[in-house]
Amino acid sequence: MLSFLSVFAQEGTQSLFRQSGKIYVVVAVLSIIMAGIILFLIRLDMKIKKLEDSKK
């Protein structure tokens, strides 16, 4: 996965989209949000599992 990303990064050094380097900040923010949502889903999954086990 990391090698994929570095391929993208190398190819795009000329691109206006990434010229200022600020887009990485956006990538970081979006990653944090998504990671948070996924962690929340994992916790929810575990809680439901616990309840299911206690009901049996």
Partner 1 sequence: MKGLWWKFLGAILVMYAIIGGLLMDAPTTLGQLDETIRNLFYHVPMWFSMITLLLVAFIYNILYLNKGDRKYFIRADSLIKVCFVFGILGILTGATWAKFTWGSWWTKDPKLNGAAVGMLIYGAYLILGNSIEDRVHRAKTLSIYSIFVYPIFIVLILVMPKMVDFSAHPGAGDTQGFTVYDLNNNLRKVFYPAVLGWILLANWIASLYWRYKILKEKEDEENINSEHVDA
Q: Which residues bind partner 1 (CB under 8 A)?
A: 1, 4-5, 8-9, 11-12, 15, 17-18, 23, 26-27, 30-31, 34-35, 38, 41-42, 44-45, 48, 51-52, 55
Provide DSSP, the chain.
Answer: -HHHHHHHHHHTTT-GGGTTSTHHHHHHHHHHHHHHHHHHHHHHHHHHHHHHHHH-
CB of residue 25 vs partner 1: minimum separation in angstroms? 11
Q: Smallest distance, Å, CB 20 to partner 1?
A: 14
